[in-house]
Amino acid sequence: MKIVIRKIHKYLSLFISIQLLLWTISGIYFAYNQIELVRGEHLRNQSYDEIDFNLQELPPITARSVRTFVRLEEPLIQIETGKDTIYLKSDGTAATQIDLDQAMEIVRTKTSLQALAAVEIFEVPAGAEYRGRSLPLYQIKTDHQNDINAYVDAWTGEIVAIRSSSWRLWDFMWGLHIMDYVDRDNINNILMKVFSILALISSLSGVILFFITPKRSTS
């Protein structure tokens, strides 16, 4: 029995050793890097906008949720109907998307970054650094030495993501950590489950071996 456990421990440890090393390295990396800095939160300018709406001027709409916000000093309302998202001005008329120049101006105003160029985005490739955000988006390239892109929602004008070389390294390490090498989002993937179970078996077999292996006399 002890020989069987020893072989299980030996070969399992050999098989999963590389992934255990990657888990350790990526875990240390996460521990020593603040996620707020990685996400570029320190680059945002803190500002608070007062919103004044005359709700009586809005048309009757059945809504699941309603949110008010300010876009380029203009108060807007976002209405989720369950089927669509509607954006209205304070007088009840329909709002339109911002353009490239306005998106760049938002980045200049809302962050400490200097916007250089803008591109409109209509699709999200696997593993894209702006994944999980609603489309369409504007990608704003900046002059920052850390190769920073800011992403602005074309409807709300909100800066929904700031991505830098530091974030891309973090994202790469996260993909190694959760063993999702394409999307880098799915923590429930089959590789993660299998290697976690194998690591548990390897650890348990090592503990069992510790207790069933006779202690050598030191005398």
Residues 147-189 have pLDDT tens digits of 999 999 999 999 999 999 999 999 999 999 999 999 999 999 9
Q: Are residues 158 and 63 in the same domain?
A: yes
* Residues found in the chain: 219
219 within domain boundaries? no
Domain span at 29:
2-36+170-212
Q: What is the pLDDT of residue 13?
A: 74
**Domain co-membership, 100 together with 123:** yes
Q: How many domains does the chain have?
A: 2
Higher-confidence residue of 197 and 46: namely 197
How high is the pLDDT of residue 90? 80
Domain C-terminal end among 131, 146, 163: 163
Classified as helix, coil or strand, 192 is: helix
Q: Helix or strand or coil: residue 112?
A: coil
Q: What is the CA radius of gyration of the chain?
A: 26
* Residue 80 is assigned to a structural domain of this protein: yes
pLDDT at 99: 95
